[in-house]
Homo-oligomer: A and B are copies of this chain.
Amino acid sequence: MRIGELAERAGVSPRALRHYEELGLLPARRRANGYRTYGEEDLRAVAEIRALVGLGLSLEETRPFVECLRAGHPSGASCADSIAVYRQKLAEVDASLARLGAVRAELEAQLHAALRERAPVPRCELTLEEP
């Protein structure tokens, strides 16, 4: 399979696949004419990469998963390094959630304060509704 077909089947651009190769994530065999050649296992690797990126991992962070796959394991998450990345990412997400939650509360407080300031002493309680 050439790069165009893999790109099509994986739902990414050929440029992205070349980028993965530059990072050493997706090494490609070459034909005599220089064309990259891929197999089904490469499709699986790209699918793994995209799934993980969809979960917020950077390309670098997907490396243990891809290498785990290429090492012959059934799942990219079968290796200790991958598990470690999962744990670390989960912690990061929890931190982000906490921070975002605090930010949300503060935003809401500021918004309500500004609204109170702009609508001093509403004449009727019914006017508290927002458009």
Contact = CB atoms under 8 A, between A and B. Distances in A.
A54 to B, nearest CB: 8
A45 to B, nearest CB: 17
Interface of A: 55-56, 75, 77-78, 82-83, 86-87, 89-90, 93-94, 96-97, 100-101, 103-104, 106-108, 110-111, 113-115, 117-118
Which label, helix, strand, loop or mixed, suits the secondary structure of the A interface? Answer: helix
A114 B55 contact: no
Contact of A78 (B94, B106, B111, B117): B117
Contacts of A108: 90
A114 B56 contact: no
A73 to B, nearest CB: 9
Contact of A86 (B83, B97, B114): B114
A100 B56 CA distance: 9
Contact of A90 (B77, B90, B104, B113): B104
Contacts of A104: 90, 93-94, 97
